[in-house]
Amino acid sequence: MTLHGELSASGLRNELAAGNVTPREAAEHYLAVIDRLNPELGAFVTVTAEAALARADALLRAGIPRDAGTRPPLWGMPLADKDLCARAGIPTGLGSRLGGQIPAVSDPLVRDLEAAGCVSLGKTNTPEYGLYGYTESAVAPPARHPEAPHLGSGGSSGGAATAVASGMLPWAPGSDGGGSVRIPAAATGLVGIKPTRGLVPADAAAPPTHTGVVSGPLAHTVAGAALLLDGMRGDTRERYGAALRSAPGRLRIAATRSSAWDDAYEITLDPAAVAAYEDALAALTALGHDIIQEEFTYPRLDYAHIFTTAWQRSAASLPVSTPNEEARLEPVTRELMHRGRALSAAENARNDADLATYGRSLREAAAPYDLVLTPALGQSPRPVGSHSADPDTNFAQQVRYSPFTSAINVAGMPAITLPVGRYRVEFTERALPMSVQLVGGFGRDALLLTAAAQLSEAVAWTPSAV
């Protein structure tokens, strides 16, 4: 059975519901692709073929629920867990030499996706503790760009992006605490959604984070991503998938190539990033939306210090308590942890206040507009192994690669990255996908997705199998 390139995620879901494809057939198809491509591309760190097929058979034995009102919305759909999520009985690697524990209980998001009817095929690659915007670690091969394997797929949901873009999965969940869904989605020509903070119920059960981590989907299309988002939310009926059937109306859209990091770093956009942004601008204008260019401004606060401190605090909270455990951390992670743990109680409290102030100020700055358009990335995909082992240089590299994503986490606003076209880029002769980011008002996810679907149709983006 050939599925990739013939059926979208939405189409596969419908074929499963109709009984034209069985959960085992779907799982076997994608497991065969994983077996063929994963050794080169590094998308999966664990493949659970036996458990996946047993789960698929159990779903079929229970029978296909014919009533759409009672049928799990993602019945029989394959996916995989990011290897920061705990699934009972499966090692949780965390991208670290300190990982590998086998949990007795699954995380809430895993349980919610099980309840939605999904079949997990394994665990996708992530950098150490998901701290980085690239997916390379000491415990697994790097996650590589399916169309140019000498380039990375971004991070920290880089394994998920590689899996979906290469056809190892129809879609995948990820997590985003600074762009970790949107960055790899943009790097590999996928749609990536960072929902409004609190929209996915499982996130409320997770430990508090300093960088606004939320769960979000990666898929080939806006429709597929919206459908997976419904499943991640535990919705029994389509909510965001159904929203795409309506037109967004005439919107007031702010467009900016500026970023929150511009005061602290020299941000130079790749020509391909600018070209994709300008093509999206032209498409939105042709659709009849009101485009206001370069009027939107980020809050005049020390964002670089605010977010850098929050990043260090995230590392400070790692479950590391002995010198031996410290020694097993990667050098950049270890230094980040030390810097975070050196912060005083007053500095931590000040950072909490600064994060809240910045987030509120950014929401207020965006309030006059329905949406804000930015480039998705500042640069095209970077070569594997190009990130420095020096923490400050490493962080600067990540900022220049993705200057547009992290501030949206701080504000808790929804955002989506979607491909616009293929462009000539650095480090490869092959034209690669480049994307833009749309940001919505807090809680206005439905409008954001509707406008994104309209833009994707206008630019006539067509996913291509590798």
Residues labelled catalytic:
82, 156, 180
Question: How many angstroms separate the Cα of 229 from the Cα of each of 79, 163, 174, 304?
Answer: 13, 18, 11, 31
**b/e map 62-98, b = 16+ CB within 10 Å:** eeeeeeeeeebbbbbbbbbbbbbbbbeebbbbbbbbb
Rounded distance between C-alpha atoms, residue 31 and residue 51, angstroms? 12
CB atoms within 10 A of CB 400: 20
d(CA 339, CA 277): 36
In this structure, what token pair is assigned to residue 205? 């059960």
Residue pair 252/373 in contact (Cβ under 8 Å)? The answer is no
Beta strands 144-145; 148-152: pairing state? antiparallel
Whole-number CA gyration radius for the chain? 21
Alpha carbon distance 122, 442 (integer Å): 33
Place of tokens 């500095």: 347
The DSSP letter of residue 132 is S
Residue 106, phi-psi category: left (phi > 0), alpha (psi -120 to 50), beta (remainder) = beta
Cα–Cα distance list, 140 to 124, 156, 334, 373 (Å): 11, 14, 18, 35
Q: Which two tokens stand for residue 428?
A: 């490869």
CB-CB contact of 133 with 431 (8 Å): no
The number of beta carbons lying within 10 Å of the beta carbon of residue 332 is 22
Q: What values do phi and psi take at 429, rounded to 5?
A: -80, -15
Q: Could you give the angle at the alpha carbon of 85 between the alpha carbons of 231 and 389, nearest 5°?
A: 125
Strands (E), 364-456: 371-375, 415-423, 432-440
Q: Taking Cα atoms as reference points, which of 3, 115, 113, 94 lies closest to residue 46?
A: 94
Amino acid at 405: T
